[in-house]
Amino acid sequence: MMSPVIFIFSLLLFSCHAAVQDFCVADLTAPESPAGYACKKPAKVTVADFVYSGLGVAGNTSNIIKAAVTPAFAMQFPGVNGLGISLVRLDLAPGGVVPFHTHPGGSEVLLVIQGAITAAFVSSANNVYLKTLKKGDIMVFPQGLLHFQVNAGGTPAIAYASFSSASPGLQILDYVLFANNLPTPLVAATTFLDIAQIKKLKGVLGGTG
């Protein structure tokens, strides 16, 4: 009978060679490609790259929207790079709101862990899909569509959102309109909002122009 050592050596050698594309833990210091971050060398990867504890801590909701969004995208959680998945924790104090926003690069499934949340998205055909979710409910928001979440009860709500991308992006409508240097007349012309309304919210959100 042949030696097991030979078997072990030859197959291990082979599988070592093949292993590098099982995963691609993000090396945040190297140049990105259209497919995501460059890969950390496999030899330096440890289990710590695949585990993240940052979503176990409540976000700080002491702000104007009474809400906190804590991401575990590839930038925060390098282990998901290239795998087409990521998570976010959402804390909503009573009265808390995640204002209208989109994720340009991925679809989302929201899971309510505590409390109740009213959520909606609007389709290209301008249909509103609106629902109040209770603990344990999940709701899907298809890629790129405007949607929001608001606390639907008098108690703090917690939810986790999963995305079909390791870096789905986040574009908050109010920020697009009122928190940058886009000139007020252009905002007015492209939204039909009144100048006074625009100036008021630019004041609140720090926009100029």
Residues 50-109 binding a second copy (CB under 8 A) are 50-53, 55-57, 60, 62-66, 68-69, 71-77, 79-87, 97-100, 102-109
C-alpha 194/C-alpha 35 separation (Å) is: 41
What six digits make up the tokens of 196? 């006074």
- For a second copy, the closer CB: 134 or 155: 134
- For a second copy, the closer CB: 124 or 154: 124
- Smallest separation, CB 202 to a second copy (Å): 11
115 contacts a second copy (rule: CB under 8 A): no
C-alpha 46/C-alpha 8 separation (Å) is: 23
Q: Could you tell me which of 109, 91, 104 has the C-alpha nearest to residue 170?
A: 104
C-alpha 143/C-alpha 92 separation (Å) is: 23
- Smallest separation, CB 24 to a second copy (Å): 4
Q: Indicate which single residue of 90, 92, 117, 133 sits in contact with a second copy (rule: CB under 8 A).
A: 133
- Smallest separation, CB 88 to a second copy (Å): 9
Q: Indicate which single residue of 44, 92, 115, 206 sits in contact with a second copy (rule: CB under 8 A).
A: 206
Q: Is 17 annotated as a binding residue?
A: no
Q: Indicate which single residue of 148, 157, 159, 202 sits in contact with a second copy (rule: CB under 8 A).
A: 148
**Residues 184-203, mask of contacts with a second copy (x by CB under 8 A):** --x--xxxxxx--x--xx--
C-alpha 34/C-alpha 81 separation (Å) is: 12
Q: Is 108 annotated as a binding residue?
A: yes
DSSP conformation letters of 93-136: -TT-EEEEEE-TT--EEEEEEES-EEEEEE-TT--EEEEEE-TT
C-alpha 131/C-alpha 42 separation (Å) is: 44
Q: Is 101 annotated as a binding residue?
A: yes
Q: Could you tell me which of 85, 67, 77, 74 has the C-alpha nearest to residue 159?
A: 67
Return the SS3 of 87: strand
Please list every residue from 23 through 42 that binds a second copy, using CB under 8 A.
23-24, 27, 30-39, 42
Residue ranges of the binding site: 101, 103, 108, 147
